[in-house]
A and B are shown apart, each in its own frame.
Chain A
Amino acid sequence: MAVGPGLAPARLQDCKRDWIRGFDSMADQALDGAAPRPLLSLRNVNMTFGGVKALKNVSFEVLPGEVHCLAGENGSGKSTLIKVITGVYKPEAGAVIDYDGQSYSHMSPVTAQASGIQVIWQDLALFPEMTVAENIAFQTVIGRWPRLVNYAEMRRVAINALQRLGVTFDVDLALHHFPIAQRQIVAIARALVGEAKLVFMDEPTASLTQSETDYLLDIVRNLSASGVAVVFVSHRLAEVLEISSRVTVLRDGALVGVYPTKGLTQSRITELMTGKTFDYSVLHRDLSRSPVMLEVKGLSRPGEFDDVSLTVRRGETLGISGLLGAGRTELALTLFGMRKPKSGSVVLDGRPVRFGSNRDAIAAGVAYLSEDRLSLGLIQPQAIADNMVIASLDKILSGGFISSDRKRSLVNRWIRDLGVRIGKQDDAISTLSGGNQQRVAIAKWLATDPKLLILDAPTVGVDVGARAGIFDIVSKLADSGLAIILISDEVPEVYFNADRVLHMAQGRIVGEFTPGATTPQAIEEAVYA
């Protein structure tokens, strides 16, 4: 991206030389032992959108070659800050941006890219149908004379870039053959071709499994070791703690502080991000006399899960933890009637059940909150009210016709009971924040009068502050006698919100923990081992 259209090849060579020289001088600095001068330093950055202050007097600093984490809830100003640095937004007068020995009052996208600032957005902006080589190196052939594509040159550039990351891919294969983690790496490699000095990564691990995340974090370490500074934006605080050397926390558009990662804990970062302290304690509910709501025996679906047995009592929350791909979602979908088990039995509320579809499951009292709220859990463009009643339409019928009065009162009741903050009932669900959307999704299922509620990763894309609210609801639901299965790959989440925790790996239940009797670390070690 550093090579804009029209940039002559000779200039490109210069860029490369400068870049290599930059390396040497940095090594010198390291030898001197002096504190390195910041690569990027921002002061007095203010941004206002339509009367709302998105950034209030923010300052931000990145050292050469460091991994720096930018933490904050949705709407705290992280993306706005990145867009100021990359020249998408122009900050209000008075801002000072010092970058690589130059001082600017604002950036422009062209200068930002030409001077080595690269962003890898969450959606990656890659071309799935093109080869890896084309994806990595297509910019090197843009705007050069002759206007022909030099595939050999592109392959060479791509292989070089991948080598610097310490990986080897088949660069002639179309990108869509690669899993998402490797596409991330292709995006990083492309940034390197653009001669990056400072790379922003926006939620790079959001759709990765644990092992893929580990792989990506290794790549980030290689990148940092080769002198490129990385600014990492992530919701997953465990990663933040693992990868970064410093954390900058933003809240409501203002700087909370810059902290060395050493000595920080997840709960401390949460407190800094939300400005609230959370009371973490394990559940102590005596459920031994509570009747069994769900009993699963030897349930199997070849290739997905094998010989799964579990029980959930009325009023109990059963946590299921394990890595993505352990068969958790497949198990949930089978209990919800959307997949058929090969063998095994399911007894719900004393009655053996065999569902032909999820309609049977819903009628029998099973509800399933999808892990994928955006494309499976809710119908994003449609109204809040419609999303809330879709699973319980029969309850708002009057003489065979939908009664708008009944619909309105049902929706009002759930909005009140679950504390959903909305504008109008007819607004699209996509206008709500992640936390409020998830409340609507829970309401949609509670409206079906379920006996068993399966929550699959209910806090994905939900702000830390709003998560506590979701779990308050879950806890009240359990107290009202609902049986709940809580699936999550974040161990602390199940640890503090479930009565028992099952550990699932490769389609099997391999362990059971009682939160009071063990530590979250012990479960984490088992899960991530």
Chain B
Amino acid sequence: MTVLIERVRNALGPELAGPFAAFVAVMIVFGFAAPNFLSRATFGSVAFQLPELGLLTLAMLLPILTGGLNLAITFTANMAGLTLAWVLQSQGGVDAGIGAFLLGSVLAIAVGALSGLIMGFVIAYTKAHPILVSLSMMIFLRGLGEFLTRGGDVSGIPGFLAPIGYGSIFGIPVPLLIFIACVLIWHVLLTRMKLGFNTYMIGSNIEATRYSGINTRKVQVLVYTLSGAMCAVAGIIMLARFNSVRVGHGESYLLITVLACFLGGVNPFGGFGRVIPVFVALVVLQLLSSGLNLMGASQHLATAVWGILMITVMILRWLAGRLKFLNTNRG
């Protein structure tokens, strides 16, 4: 039994303690404060809202682990959504078939991956700072998107797409299933694959990694490409949920994804961080905003509470670090 617990602990890692404590705290506080918090409705709304932010957070996670950042995630998602929408429109709009959807999705993911590929190449070869490179890409994509859509919506989506945004299988929302599948892929990638291993190493010291015979450029290019592809998945789900695409949809998610990563124990300078704690952190953030919503607070207040939560977490981490320091000094 203890062996099992040890194995679970090793698999999840110490980073999970913080997010998990926050999860328990949120459940208790809202369980008492909002009588209808512990209901199916709450978890239903969380389950439908989580995937968009979650997929974008996964897209943000990989670059952060290499010590970089991808500020273009939301507009990459928009561009991918637009690509799919255009393909559907050209194939008859509301009457488009399943084939058009599959083709459009492949193209959408290709567009997302291409955006990442370009950033990855520029970052790996020019050694320009990822913030600058992805900021430039973000501005480019926004400008391009607004130019192509003239600032309006692209709508006219066939009805069979609705389940991707709203449907459930065995009571579990489809977007949540897609998100969980992506979480598992990222988890396996980071814990079991060479690319994941090298991502962590690069995040800690790229030169030492290169001296160890790792093709660091290839790793960087792949990381940003995968990040872009994950944005595209988010873009497709957003399209299905809103029944339309507009450049700028989900823009406010950008910094929340960074927040979710740090809340999940990811090192802001790269090299350390796991997928599962980030997943728990996302659930906490979403529960917080749903709980406040139930209590009749405005959405803006929820955002403010996220900020306070983050600051609290930092102070608590510092305190925990000090406590540990004092203990080891005493021992």
Question: Is chain B a partner of chain A in the same complex?
Answer: yes
Chain A 370-394 near chain B by CB (<8 Å), digits 1 or 0: 1000011111111000100011010
Q: Tell me if B39 counts as interface (CB < 8 A to partner A).
A: no
Q: Which of B200, B214, B328 contacts A382 (CB 8 A)?
A: B200
Contact of A50 among B191, B208, B215, B329 (CB under 8 A): B329
Distance between B201 CB and nearest chain A CB, rounded to angstroms:
6
CB-defined A-B contacts under 8 Å, sample of 17: A361-B213, A375-B205, A376-B211, A377-B211, A379-B209, A380-B204, A380-B205, A381-B272, A382-B271, A386-B200, A391-B212, A397-B194, A400-B193, A401-B188, A401-B192, A401-B193, A402-B193
CB of A391 to closest CB in B, whole Å: 5
Q: Please tell me if A444 contacts chain B, counting CB pairs below 8 Å.
A: yes
Cβ contacts under 8 Å, A381 to chain B? 204-205, 271-272
Which residues of the other chain, B, contact A359 by a CB distance below 8 angstroms? 213-215
A390 to B194, CA, bound (A): 9
Find the A residue at minimum CB distance from B211: A376
Q: Report if B197 contacts A (CB, 8 A).
A: yes
| A388-427 vs B, Cβ < 8 Å mask (1 yes, 0 no) | 0011010001001110000000000000000000000000
Is B251 located at the chain interface by the 8 A CB criterion? Answer: no
Instruction: Report yes or no: B208 in contact with A376, Cβ–Cβ below 8 A.
Output: yes
Docked-complex contact B213 and A391, CB < 8 angstroms: yes
Most chain A CB within a 10 A radius of its CB, from B210, B211, B271: B211
Contact A50 B204 (CB under 8 A): no
User: Within the complex, which residue of B201, B207, B272, B330 is in contact with A375, where a contact is CB–CB below 8 Å?
Assistant: B207
Most buried by B among A358, A378, A379, A393: A379
Residues of A within 8 A of B191 (CB): 402
B208 touches A402 (CB 8 A): no
Say yes or no: B215 contacts A375, CB within 8 Å: no
Q: A375-B208, A379-B201, A390-B201 are in contact. Are A50 and B193 (CB under 8 A)?
A: no
Contacts of A362 in B (CB 8 A): 213
Assess whether B331 is interfacial by the CB under 8 Å rule. yes
| Nearest 3 pairs of A and B residues by beta carbon | A401-B192, A362-B213, A390-B212
Distance of B176 from chain A, by nearest CB (Å): 26
Q: List residues of chain A with CB within 8 A of the CB of B212.
A: 379, 390-391, 444
A338 to B205, CA, bound (A): 17
User: A207 interface residue, CB < 8 Å from B?
Assistant: no
Tell me which residues across on chain B come within 8 A of A370, comparing CB atoms: 211
Flag B166-185 by CB within 8 Å of A: 1 or 0 each: 00000000000000000000
Q: A358-B211, A390-B209, A402-B197 are in contact. List 4 more A-B contacts (CB 8 A).
A: A50-B331, A359-B214, A381-B205, A402-B191
A379 touches B192 (CB 8 A): no
Interface contact B208-A377, CB-CB below 8 Å: yes
> B201 and A386: CB pair below 8 A?
yes
A29 within 8 A of B: no
Closest residue of B by beta carbon distance from A357: B215
Find chain B residues with CB under 8 A from A378 CB: 208
How far, in angstroms, from A375 to B204 measured CA to CA in the complex? 10
Chain B residues within an 8 Å CB radius of A357: 215
Contact with B along A322-364 (1 / 0, CB 8 A): 0000000000000000100000000000000000011101100
Q: Nearest Cβ distance between residue B189 and chain A, in whole angstroms?
A: 10
Assembly CA distance A380 to B212 (angstroms): 13
| CA A11 to CA B195, docked complex, whole Å | 64
> What is the interface residue range for chain A against chain B?
20 to 34
Could you tell me the distance between the alpha carbons of A401 and B207 in the complex, rounded to whole angstroms?
Answer: 25
Report the Cα distance A491→B48, complex, angstroms. 70
Within 8 Å CB of A368, what residues of B?
211
Task: Name the distance in Å between A118's Cβ and chain B's nearest Cβ.
Answer: 29
With A397-B194, A402-B193, A402-B194 given, is the CB distance from A376 to B213 under 8 Å?
no
Q: How far, in whole Å, are A362 and B215 apart by their CA atoms in the complex?
A: 12
Report the minimum CB–CB distance from A403 to chain B (whole Å).
8
Chain B: which residue is nearest A397 at the CB level? Answer: B194
- Closest residue on chain B to residue A378 by CB atoms: B208
Inter-subunit contact A50/B200 (CB<8 Å): no
Give the docked Cα–Cα distance between A376 and B212 (Å).
Answer: 9
Residues of B in contact (CB 8 Å), total 25
Q: A390 contacts B214, CB within 8 Å?
A: yes
A379 touches B194 (CB 8 A): no
- What A residues does B331 contact at CB under 8 A? 50-51
Bound-state Cα–Cα, A266 to B286, Å: 67
Whole-angstrom CA separation of A400 from B208 in the bound complex: 24
Contact residues, A444-498 vs B (CB, 8 A): 444, 448
Docked complex Cα distance between A400 and B189 (Å): 11
Chain A residues whose CB sits within 8 angstroms of the CB of B194 once the complex forms: 393, 397, 402
Most central of B205, B208, B329 by chain A CB within 10 Å: B208
Bound CA span A357–B210, Å: 10
**In the complex, what residues of B have CB within 8 A of residue A393's CB?**
194, 197
Min CB distance, B114 to chain A, in Å?
26
Q: Which residues of A contact B208 (CB under 8 A)?
A: 375-379
Q: Which residues of B contact A444 (CB under 8 A)?
A: 212
Q: Which residue of B lies closest to A51 (CB)?
A: B331
B197 contacts A50, C-beta separation under 8 Å: no
Interchain CA distance A394-B209 in the complex, whole Å: 15
A386 with B197: CB separation less than 8 A: yes
Q: Which chain A residues lie closer than 8 Å to B188 at the CB level?
A: 401
Which A residues are CB-close (under 8 A) to B207?
375-376
Q: Which residues of B contact A361 (CB under 8 A)?
A: 213
> Could you say which residues of chain A place their CB within 8 Å of the CB of B330?
50
Task: Report chain A residues within 8 Å CB of B204.
Answer: 379-382
Q: How far is the CA of A49 from the CA of B329 in the complex (A)?
A: 7
Residue of B whose beta carbon sits closest to that of A338: B211
Instruction: List the B side residues contacting A391 at CB < 8 Å.
Output: 212-213
Complex: A390 Cα to B201 Cα, angstroms: 9
CB-CB under 8 A from A386, the residues of chain B are 197, 200-201
Which residue of A has the minimal Cβ distance to B200?
A: A382
Closest chain A CB from B256 CB (angstroms): 27
Select from chain B the residue with minimum beta-carbon distance to A389.
B197
**B192, closest chain A residue (CB):** A401
In whole angstroms, what is the CA distance A515 to B155 when docked?
Answer: 83
Which residues in window 42-56 of A have CB below 8 A to B?
A: 49-51
Chain B: which residue is nearest A368 at the CB level? B211
**CB <8 Å contact, B328 and A50:** yes
CB distance from B63 to the nearest CB of A (A): 18
Given contacts A375-B205, A382-B201, A402 and B192 within 8 Å (CB-CB) = yes
Compute how far the CA of A322 lies from the CA of B197 in the bound complex, rounded to whole angstroms. Answer: 38
Residues of B within 8 Å of A49, CB to CB, are: 329
A521 and B191 CA atoms in complex are apart in Å by 54
Cα-based distance from A279 to B249 in the complex (angstroms) = 74
Give the one of A338, A358, A380 with max B CB within 10 A.
A358
Q: How far is the CA of A377 from the CA of B329 in the complex (A)?
A: 30
| Most A CB within 10 A of own CB, among B192, B212, B329, B330 | B212
Q: With A and B bound together, what is the CA distance between A368 and B208 in angstroms?
A: 12
A448 neighbours in B (Cβ, 8 Å): 213
The smallest C-beta distance from A379 to any residue of chain B, in angstroms, reads 5
Chain A residues near B271 (CB-CB < 8 A): 381-382
Q: Mark B252-276, 1 if CB is under 8 A from A, else 0.
A: 0000000000000000000110000
Tell me which of B194, B210, B213, B271 has the highest count of chain A C-beta atoms within 10 A of its own C-beta: B213
Residues of A with C-beta under 8 A to B209:
379, 390
Chain B residues with CB under 8 Å of A382's CB are 200-201, 204, 271
Which residues from B are CB-within-8-Å of A379?
201, 204-205, 208-209, 212
Inter-chain CA distance A359–B208, complex, in Å, is 14
